[in-house]
Amino acid sequence: MDFVNTLTQETVLEGQTLLLDKPLGWTSFQVVNKVRWLLKKKWGFKKLKVGHAGTLDPLATGLLIVCTGKMTKQITHFQGLPKTYTGSLLLGATTPSFDLETAIDQQFDTSAILPEEIESIRKTFIGTIAQHPPIFSAVKQQGQRLYTLARQGEQVQTQARTVTIQQFDLNTQDFPLLHFEVQCSKGTYIRSLAHDFGKALHNGAHLTELRRTAIGEYHVNNSITVEDFENQLA
């Protein structure tokens, strides 16, 4: 994409919406810091408001909406839009973080799981459900991030939240690795969905791959990589 070439000092200050493809291993905060630094370097801004509309975990990739200037006032609107994700979960093992950030802590036999069981359980997750955030998450509890408490070895009790799963499609051809597509409401943790799915099967599961493909009408196909963003500003 070449929309970066349409940016000017005035449009950035007035407010710009950037669709970026967050790379694997980066935090959403690092992407925002990089964009802010690049724009300030390009036009010599002393101060510039930059923010993102919905955190992606470091091990996730995909669409990150980044706003500048007065468009940062629209971040709440973007955050409220439904999100679409693709990815994979592995049955037969759990991790404390519900993904690959931490090592496997329990393993289960998956040989008795039937395709019809997977389909039956899948249907129970569509609609409004109660979900506990992972203990390794940025959710604040008593003024501290949950991941801080978890990494200190403290026992953390998370509070359930209500989320809506509009779509939950599964492909079982690589069983026990299941590929999925999920459309969900704000606040949904796909890591928790993977963990809870395994638990509902009386087994275990954790997330192995996650990519956000859409936020409302905004699609990752219309985004730009951070590397290309930097190159186009050069």
> Are 205 and 195 contacting, i.e. CB atoms less than 8 angstroms apart?
yes
> Are 193 and 205 contacting, i.e. CB atoms less than 8 angstroms apart?
no
User: Annotated catalytic sites, by residue?
Assistant: 57
Residues 81 and 62: their CA atoms lie apart, in Å, by 16
> Are 122 and 168 contacting, i.e. CB atoms less than 8 angstroms apart?
yes
Q: DSSP 3-state assignment of 89?
A: strand
Sequence-ordered strand ranges (E) for the chain: 17-22, 50-52, 60-68, 83-91, 93-94, 106-107, 127-131, 140-141, 144-145, 161-174, 177-184, 205-215, 218-219, 224-225
